[in-house]
């Protein structure tokens, strides 16, 4: 029997309170936190929102952060929630280096970028905030307030981000990769996504009314919540009790539309069904469903159909709690998971506020206060692109939970995994390996990818409104799946450091120069990071597991880790792993101004890599035999890990940035002695997901049995010897490391 995952601590901040005590009081007394805008400076005063009732300065003071320290609102809220969770779980500073931290966010540091965008473009003012635009920076800012966690990464799947962070943490514990992982998400309200949702015409000027016949849209909210997940053995050893049990979870893709849910709720149905299956719990044992319930006409009807498909005539009590907090987008999965824990502990059903009229073919939600003993509850979180996740949380009143039955994972997969295919579109010849014999050599410091004809992959009508990064992702994905010999894959997992930056730039530019009226919904729809994964799923009609990682230069590596983890657990047999980033001239100059690009002889490029991994195959490029990620390790820790990664050739991230290159050379010398060093960024350029290109290059070299001379870092190392293995050694500013060992 698979052992359960305990929740030994939790913390929350939202519009209804700072901490669980205030939150519980608001839930029990049906007190909403949604009201007029106070802190966000916007023209749109007509929309009620769920703001956290503190200014940034007040949050700084609460967390003892100096006025000079850079901190985004997303990170500040994250710190408040994380502080409560760690204290509840009795996590000390000494324990932090052995604990993982996984966070979900989509806006990242957009609250700063939207204020200073014109400064970024036109002058030197506020350029220090450029480095905190991306999602990963906010996660690291939150984590580093408490110490050096063993592992840090960020999921960005819009409104299911925090729920997917919880799923990853649980899988890490189940696979024995961690005893304790802190998971959740944080998201602040910004003008960017307030106006984005407004451009989609799904904001309500009144209090939102989920599952009501008169529902007209959602109210935005903000907040953060984190859960401490822990193995039973660890909790017993530390003498801590469980608040609740994470007994099941599921993620699936609706594969229907970029923003709308399918009429039959296919993705939601699959996610809930998977959560029940993992927990080995029949539908009639669910006592309550915390619905995603946004209050939009489309979502509520689709979710109603999904629930009816799963539960038939016996739908359990169900309600949405977004009328209390507003829709907290990326943080909603963990915030509402905390609400579920409070309901389990205190025996009550949260009320679906503002409901009065039943909708046609919909669910009649809990609309009066009810006290009820709860044993098992579902918590739903659905994101743009049909990224649907469901958590099954169970009650426990003691520290012993061995009597709770949790179903077995399939038989774990041991031994090597197989790289079935790998395709790229970059500054080299697209969808081709011609670079191995005839590389294109660039003199310019900034170069855009060479695009193939997309007519074989995307219809002209679709392509006309599609950003470049999306076309590249779809083309490389379709080619990789075709080359793998598979009809489809079990999972689509994407890494992207900046996401769809071109459309983000278009929207920011219009917002900054033209104001908050008449903004394009297309730019907003295509600005979210998980647009890439969702469009690939829609194009390939894939309903499987679907997530996106957005954590700096380990974005691709994080996606790879998830794929490897789930294969080892036996949950999937194949995965499409992508690394996709684009760059515009304007954003390149912004990053250069912020000191993040354009160093010395460094070339900036664009990355579009799609790799198919499988658990077995007779025809493959190479084998993946070992993989490891680390966050801010000591050199002693790196040396210990390096002993597991013996290789003759080391694929480094040498890029022409003298400072970074010196660090690479010093570390590789100390860790791997006289192993021959390889490089690839001089051909493909630097980008946040360049490590995906490194993976692709190494795989092609192992398949061909030859390493081209122009890949050797030292001309004296050039050899015609057939490589038996290549280690891809990636680091990001000596903070985040990954080691990937490929074998011929």
Which residues are annotated as catalytic? 159, 292, 327
Task: Say which DSSP state 717 is in.
Answer: G
Q: Are residues 342 and 27 in contact, defined by beta-carbon separation less than 8 angstroms?
A: yes
Q: What's the gap between Cα 463 and its chain centre?
A: 26
Radius of gyration of the chain (CA): 24
Query: What DSSP letter does each residue of 5-59 carry, written as one string?
Result: EEEEEEEEEETTEESHHHHHHHHHTT----BS--SS--S-TTS-BB--SS-HHHH
585-593 and 110-122 helices cross at what angle (nearest 10)? 90
Identify the CA nearest to 321 among candidates 639, 738, 14: 14
Q: Quick one: tokens of 558?
A: 């994080």
List Cβ<8 Å contacts ≥24 apart for 704-713. Answer: 704/433, 704/436, 705/744, 706/436, 707/649, 707/678, 708/436, 708/437, 708/439, 710/439, 710/683, 711/678, 711/679, 711/680, 712/676, 712/677, 712/678, 712/679, 713/652, 713/654, 713/677, 713/678, 713/679
| Strand, helix or coil for residue 386 | helix
Query: What DSSP letter does each residue of 347-362 carry, written as one string?
Result: TEE---TT--SBPTT-
468-484 and 501-514 helices cross at what angle (nearest 10)? 170
Question: DSSP strand E in 444-509: where?
Answer: 491-495
Alpha-carbon distance of 736 to 216, in angstroms, equals 44
- Helix then strand count (H, E) for the chain reads 23, 23
The number of residues in the chain equals 744
Q: Quick one: tokens of 167?
A: 């799923």
Q: Quick one: tokens of 597?
A: 């690009």
Instruction: Determine the straight-line distance between the first and last CA of the chain, rounded to whole angstroms.
Output: 37
Identify the CA nearest to 52 among candidates 316, 326, 273: 326
Task: Say which DSSP state 570 is in.
Answer: T
Backbone dihedral angles phi then psi of residue 117, each to the nearest 5 degrees: -55, -45
């Amino acid at each position: 029997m698979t052992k359960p995952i305990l929740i030994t601590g939790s913390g929350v901040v939202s519009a209804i309170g700072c901490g669980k005590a205030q939150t519980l009081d608001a839930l029990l007394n049906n007190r909403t936190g949604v009201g007029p805008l106070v802190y966000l400076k916007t023209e749109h005063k007509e929309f009620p929102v769920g703001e956290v009732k503190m200014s940034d300065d007040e949050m700084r003071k609460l967390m003892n952060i100096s006025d000079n320290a850079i901190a985004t609102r997303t990170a500040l809220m994250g710190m408040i929630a994380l502080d409560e969770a760690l204290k509840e779980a009795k996590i000390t500073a000494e324990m932090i280096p052995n604990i993982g931290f996984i966070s979900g966010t989509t806006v990242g540091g957009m609250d700063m970028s939207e204020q200073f965008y014109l400064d970024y473009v036109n002058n030197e003012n506020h350029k220090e905030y450029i480095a905190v635009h991306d999602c990963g920076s906010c996660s690291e800012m939150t984590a580093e307030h408490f110490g050096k966690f063993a592992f840090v990464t960020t999921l960005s799947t819009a409104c299911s981000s925090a729920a997917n962070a919880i799923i990853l943490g649980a899988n890490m514990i189940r696979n024995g990769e961690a005893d304790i992982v802190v998971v959740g998400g944080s998201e602040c309200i910004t003008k960017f996504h307030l106006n984005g949702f407004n451009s989609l015409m799904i904001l309500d000027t009144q209090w939102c009314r989920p599952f009501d016949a008169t529902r007209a849209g959602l109210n935005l909210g903000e907040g953060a919540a984190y859960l401490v997940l822990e193995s039973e053995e660890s909790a017993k050893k530390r003498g801590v009790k469980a608040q609740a049990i994470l007994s099941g979870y599921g993620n699936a893709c609706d594969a229907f539309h970029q923003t709308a849910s399918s009429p039959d709720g296919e993705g939601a149905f699959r996610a809930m069904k998977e959560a029940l299956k993992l927990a080995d719990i029949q539908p009639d044992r669910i006592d309550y469903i915390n619905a995603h319930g946004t209050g939009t006409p489309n979502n509520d009807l689709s979710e109603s159909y999904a629930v009816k498909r799963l539960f038939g005539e016996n739908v359990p009590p169900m309600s949405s709690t977004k009328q209390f907090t507003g829709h907290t987008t990326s943080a909603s999965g963990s915030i509402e998971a905390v609400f579920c824990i409070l309901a389990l502990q205190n025996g009550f059903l949260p009320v679906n506020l503002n409901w009065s009229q039943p909708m046609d073919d919909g669910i009649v939600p809990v609309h009066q206060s009810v006290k009820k003993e709860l044993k098992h509850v579902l918590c739903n979180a659905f994101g743009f692109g049909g990224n649907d996740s469901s958590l099954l949380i169970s009650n426990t009143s003691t520290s012993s939970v061995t009597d709770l039955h949790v179903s077995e994972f399939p038989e774990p997969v041991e031994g090597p995994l197989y790289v079935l295919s790998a395709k790229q579109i970059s500054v080299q010849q697209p969808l081709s390996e011609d670079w191995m014999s005839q590389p294109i050599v660039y003199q310019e410091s900034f170069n855009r990818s060479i695009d193939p004809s997309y007519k074989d992959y995307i219809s002209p009508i679709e392509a006309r409104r599609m950003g470049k990064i999306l076309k590249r992702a779809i083309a490389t994905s379709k080619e990789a799946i075709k080359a793998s010999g598979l009809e489809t894959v079990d999972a689509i997992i994407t890494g992207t450091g900046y996401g769809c930056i071109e459309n983000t730039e278009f929207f920011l530019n219009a917002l900054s120069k033209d104001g908050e009226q008449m903004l394009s919904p297309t730019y907003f729809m295509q600005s979210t990071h998980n647009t890439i994964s969702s469009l690939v799923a829609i194009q390939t009609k894939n309903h499987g597991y679907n997530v996106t990682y957005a954590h700096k230069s380990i974005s691709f590596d994080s996606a790879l880790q998830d794929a490897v983890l789930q294969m080892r657990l036996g949950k999937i047999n194949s995965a499409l792993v992508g690394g996709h980033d684009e760059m515009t001239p304007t954003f390149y100059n912004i990053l250069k101004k912020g000191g993040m690009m354009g160093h010395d002889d460094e070339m900036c490029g664009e990355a579009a890599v799609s790799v198919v991994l499988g658990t077995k195959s007779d025809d493959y490029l190479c084998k993946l035999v070992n993989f490891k990620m680390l966050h801010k390790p000591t050199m002693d820790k790196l040396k210990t890990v390096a002993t597991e990664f013996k290789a003759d050739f080391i694929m480094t991230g040498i890029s022409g940035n003298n400072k970074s290159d010196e660090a690479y050379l010093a570390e590789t010398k100390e860790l791997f002695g006289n192993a021959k060093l390889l490089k690839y960024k001089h051909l493909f350029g630097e980008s946040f997901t360049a490590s995906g290109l490194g993976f692709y290059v190494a795989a092609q070299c192992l398949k061909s049995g030859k390493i081209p001379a122009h890949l050797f870092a030292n001309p004296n190392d050039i050899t015609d010897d057939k490589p038996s293995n290549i280690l891809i050694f990636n680091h990001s500013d000596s903070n985040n490391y990954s080691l990937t060992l490929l074998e011929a």
